[in-house]
Amino acid sequence: MELKKSLVIVISLMLALTFLNLLQDYTGKITSSYTSQKFKGSMTITPLIALQDEKITINIKGPYYMDNKKAYGEMSNKVYFYKDGKRKDEVKICANSRCKGDFTKEFTIPAKMYTESEWQEGTYTAKVYDYLNKKYIETNFIVTNESDSRIGCKEIDDTGNDQYHKSETISHYTGKKIAKKDECKTDKLLTEYYCCKNTDKNYKKELGICRIETKCLNKCNKGVCFS
């Protein structure tokens, strides 16, 4: 009788151990499969069509993997800019040698000025290396000139509707290039131009931009209000 009991106990223990081993193997496979789910990052640039000396905004979503919750992988600490396979410039996105997370950076495209800039017109590629997936995250954008109708409407100094800063606004929405600078209509009255939607109450169809008149608190001079 005692021998039977001992055999039953031994067999039960063996079955229990076998079950635990199978469960551990199964759980391990699930965990392994789960943590192997890697996701690449993404990058967007606005505006997609830019001018020399214009500021672009770079939005980067870092690469990540899922391990019970989202965890970021590493990427290089710089965005590199290329044209025709040649590196033209770079911008740093974090202080460390490698970066984790999401980032927003601004970069001003070098102006042509009086000499030939390295940034000529054409299509550029922005790249940041994704160490998690061992490949580059990249996106394209275009550098062009004011006569390119693809720019739609642009405020050259990006001040918009601001009476204290003079701005030049260029629009192609009428089918031809129209350029307007803020100007003083009188010594007290300022006429401002800025990009807007065609549903805006200040939109002028014949110009393809918005126009508004502002009374200066003190005086208007050279297209700017002085307080």
Q: Over the stretch 58-100, which tens digit does the pLDDT of each residue have? A: 999 999 998 888 899 999 999 999 999 999 999 999 999 999 9
Structural domain includes residue 220:
yes
Residue 30: what pLDDT? 43
pTM of the model: 0.74
Q: Which of 115, 144, 173 is the last residue of a domain?
A: 144
The model's pLDDT over 156-169, given as tens digits with 9 standing for 90+, comes to: 875 556 788 888 99
> What are the φ and ψ backbone dihedral angles of 8, each rounded to 5 degrees?
-65, -45
Category of 70 on φ-ψ map: left (φ > 0), alpha (ψ -120 to 50) or beta: beta
What is the domain extent for residue 125? 39-144
Quote the number of domains for the chain: 2
221 and 171, same structural domain? yes
90 and 75, same structural domain? yes
134 and 99, same structural domain? yes
Nearest to 35 by CA among 1, 70, 66, 72: 66
